Amino acid sequence: MNLRLDMISCDPAAGQSIARDCEEAGWTVSRFDSIEGFLKTQTGEPAPLLILSLPAAWKGGNDGGSLQRMKDWRSDNASSQLILFAPEGLAGVDRLALKLGARHTLFYPYETRDLNVILSGFAQGLGKRQQMTEVSRRKSGPEGFEELIGTSEKIAAVIELARKVGRSDFTSVMIGGENGTGKGALAKAIHMSSERADGPFLEVNCAAIPRNLLESEFFGYEKGAFTDAKERKMGLFELSNGGTIFLDEVGEIDFNLQAKLLKFLDSRTIRRISGTQFLPVDVRIICATNRDLKTLIEQKRFRADLYYRLNVIEITVPPLRERVEDIRPIAGNYIALFSKRMKKGDIRITEEALGLMESYSWPGNNRELINMIERAVLLDSRGEIRPEDLPIKKEEQEIILNVTEQEGTIRIDLPSRGASLEEIEKGAIIAALRSASGNVTRAADLLKVERGTLRYKMKKHGIDASNIKENIKTGEYEPVAVTD
């Protein structure tokens, strides 16, 4: 990997020391004696890293406008990260760092190990960015995977599988995952990466349409089919002919209508309500659900034969709490997006705020994160998002335990911030209650404790089983598996 950086140093002695340390860390350094000299050379792709070393005699603002020109350049080249060096005690450095969007500020005389830590972090980030660029290059064309932001292995695996599915433009796909994980964006990306990309993409939220109207929405109707049928109406399957229809919350489709949907999948023809013609329709169906369809099958609320026809390929989008490393790129992307939309200028987010976000469980997943970023950008008045700007309270965070059993050993995946034993115990109780649908006796069996003991610990942690039952009923929580 080619590690290169540009360095602007108005102090020759300091510049020589910084350049030597950077070169020893494996970076190729291009040195400039002034901001103006640097800007005159910037005609192509900028170096991924820029170091600006201020002289001891720097007077805030008395620079002939060069710092403003540097700020303008930074606005157009935000991908180039900035390290600001300044003499110890120099006034106005914090404001300048904010103005220029500096990623780090170091004061000299500095510790070489501090610079090495920063350079190492940039090198790792640059490696990841180049990997993502290569993935984007391979995916160049009319694809929509750019909306699936992240560097984690889990999201990369989802994208890779989705791209393979996209090459087969007829196979039915079932997308699983919690609310807010981006199932709709993934469905559209699959459509855009297929040969159907030039055709329509229709998204239908089956839970948002009254069940008695869903059939007419799917298949359309002829004039006079019912009282309000003043004109003939084409159905959504017909309208999506040659393209893709995305059925979100497919588990909400009425059981009787499921038979007609199965018949359509078998025949690929539709007949409008009160119609006499069978119309051929070439459409790919992508479904999504945040519910356990196999449980609905056991409850006789979803047809098994329809499930297997729709679930030829299954893709599960992991929740945001299981891919913490994706929080930073998602936050950064939407800070830039909303800042531009709202004409707020450069807005940065502090490490403390990012750390708080990475320790949060994100029950609303990507959608909650995006909404939180939009709120923070909208209310920002200082060009910086801090922890107090985020509606996250540490005491309200919930530990979500991923418990698995392998070869007789139980493994618990903890959040990156760590967890106290009290939090782990509370998380295990909540997970067991969710898995047992709020049944305390069953949850006690899962946790291998007496029912009375579990009741005592629930009271201790303020856990109400009835609330968990209600949350599961409304779909806010899905059962979490706890190994027996």
Please state the domain count of the chain.
4
pLDDT exceeds 90 at position 138: no
Q: Which amino acid is at 325?
A: E
Q: CA nearest 310: which of 326, 294, 323, 325? A: 294
Average pLDDT, the chain: 82
Phi/psi of residue 50, each to 5°?
Answer: -130, 135
Sort 76 into a burial class: Cβ within 10 Å, 0-12 / 13-18 / 19+: exposed
Q: Is 185 helix (H, G, I), strand (E, B) or coil?
A: helix
Range with the largest mean pLDDT of 31-35, 73-77, 111-115: 31-35
For the chain, give the percent of residues with pLDDT over 70: 83
Give dist(CA 112, CA 21) in Å, integer: 7
Average the pLDDT over each of 148-152, 209-213, 433-437, 478-482 and give the range with the smallest value: 478-482
Contact yes or no for 392/364 (Cβ under 8 A)? no
Residues 165 and 194 grouped into a single domain: yes
Do the domain assignments include residue 138? no
Same domain, yes or no: 215 and 309? yes
Tokens describing residue 272: 């409008």
pLDDT at position 394 is 54
CATH code, domain carrying 353: 1.10.8.60
Where in the sequence is the domain holding 11, given as residue range(s)? 4-127
* pLDDT recorded at residue 399: 54
**Domain boundary pick from 316, 334, 364:** 316
Would you say residue 98 lies in a domain? yes
Q: Is the peptide bond preceding residue 319 cis, with omega within 30 degrees of 0?
A: no
- Asked if 342 and 309 sit in the same domain, the reply is no
Higher pLDDT, 481 or 115: 115
284 occurs within a structural domain: yes
pLDDT of amino acid 139: 42
The answer to which of 105-109, 173-177, 286-290, 465-469 has the lowest mean pLDDT is 465-469
- Nearest residue to 56 via CA among 106, 109, 11: 11
CB atoms within 10 A of CB 162: 22
- Whether the CB-CB separation of 201 and 191 falls below 8 Å is answered with yes
Separation in Å, CA 441 to CA 291, 425, 438, 452, 465: 24, 17, 9, 9, 11
Tokens of 383: 């060009």
310 confidence band (pLDDT: 50, 70, 90): very high
pLDDT (mean) for 377-404: 74
Strand 28-32 to 4-9 pairing: parallel
For residues 421 and 451, membership in a common domain is answered with yes
Do 226 and 178 lie in one domain? The reply is yes
Residues 168 and 298 in one domain: yes
Q: In terms of domains, do 309 and 325 share one?
A: no
* 118 and 166 housed in the same domain: no
Q: Are residues 385 and 406 in the same domain?
A: no
The CATH number linked to 157 is 3.40.50.300
Q: What is the pLDDT of residue 417?
A: 58
Residue 136 forms part of a structural domain: no
What confidence tier does 104 reach under pLDDT thresholds 50, 70, 90? confident
408: left (phi over 0), alpha (psi -120 to 50) or beta: left
Is residue 188 situated within a structural domain? yes
Kindly state the DSSP code that residue 273 receives in the 8-state scheme.
Answer: B
Neighbours of 121 (CB within 10 A): 13
Identify whether 266 is part of a domain: yes
159 assigned to some structural domain: yes
Neighbour-count burial for 326-341, b at 16+ CB within 10 Å, e otherwise: bbbbbbbbbbeebbee
Q: What's residue 484's pLDDT? A: 40
Enter the DSSP assignment of 388.
Answer: G
Range with the poorest average pLDDT among 111-115, 265-269, 450-454: 111-115
CB 397 within 8 A of CB 361: yes
**Residues 308, 329 within the same domain:** no
Q: Which residue(s) pair with 8 in the sheet?
A: 32, 52
CA distance 244 to 148: 19
Tokens matching residue 23? 């070169």
178 and 283 in a single domain? The answer is: yes
Residue finishing a domain among 70, 92, 127: 127
Q: Which residues contact 475 (CB under 8 A, 6 or more apart)?
A: 179, 290, 291
Q: Is 444 helix (H, G, I), strand (E, B) or coil?
A: helix
pTM: 0.55
Residue 366: inside a domain, yes or no? yes
For tokens 């040195």, the residue is: 31
Same domain, 216 and 112: no
Angle at which helix 327-341 crosses helix 351-359, to 10 degrees, equals 120
Question: Which of 377, 396, 415 is the C-terminal boundary of a domain?
Answer: 396
Q: What's 14's domain CATH number?
A: 3.40.50.2300
Strand 284-289 and strand 244-248: the pairing is parallel
Q: Given phi > 0 = left and psi -120 to 50 = alpha, else beta, which region is 91? A: beta
Q: Is the dihedral of CA 296, 297, 302, 308 positive or negative?
A: positive
CATH number of the domain at 417, please: 1.10.10
